[in-house]
């Protein structure tokens, strides 16, 4: 499905390593960073909650394949999916501004 911003799926910006702990390309859009942080947060939440993909799917009404696609950086969830995931897991998984990589320090003018 085309995106209005023309961003690729988050995992398309991996330059080294394994998703979701890989290094992203310097030109990766903020959506890729959010998708990566979201996948890591969901992985941690699954481990803490004891849910599997299938039990989480049952609890949320979201297919396990959709949850898998989010975890693998193949798609970003819509707000309804995100809300159902957070409620079922009992953790906030949307990373917010914490997902934005720090800007490199600016060089002094001179």
> pLDDT tens digit string along 35-56?
999 999 999 999 999 999 999 9
Give the dihedral sign, CA 49/80/74/6.
negative
Tokens 């992985």, residue located: 43
pLDDT at 2: 47
Domain 10-95 CATH assignment equals 2.60.120.590: no
- pLDDT tens-digit readout, 58-74: 999 999 999 999 999 99
Dig out the tokens for 53 from the structure.
């993909």
What is the rounded CA–CA span in Å between residue 55 and residue 23?
30
Taking the domains of the chain in order of start, what are their residue ranges?
10-95
**Sorting pLDDT into bands at 50, 70 and 90, what band is 103?**
confident
CA 70 to chain CA centroid, Å, is: 6
């Amino acid at each position: 499905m085309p995106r209005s911003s023309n961003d690729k799926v988050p995992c398309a910006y991996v330059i080294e390593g394994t998703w979701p702990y890989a290094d992203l390309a310097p030109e990766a859009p903020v959506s890729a960073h959010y998708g990566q942080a979201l996948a890591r947060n969901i992985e941690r939440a699954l481990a803490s909650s004891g849910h599997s993909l299938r039990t989480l799917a049952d609890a949320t009404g979201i297919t396990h394949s959709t949850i898998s696609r989010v975890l693998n950086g193949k798609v970003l969830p819509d707000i309804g999916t995100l809300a159902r995931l957070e409620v079922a897991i009992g953790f906030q998984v949307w990373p917010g501004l914490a997902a934005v990589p720090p800007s490199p320090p600016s060089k002094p003018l001179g």
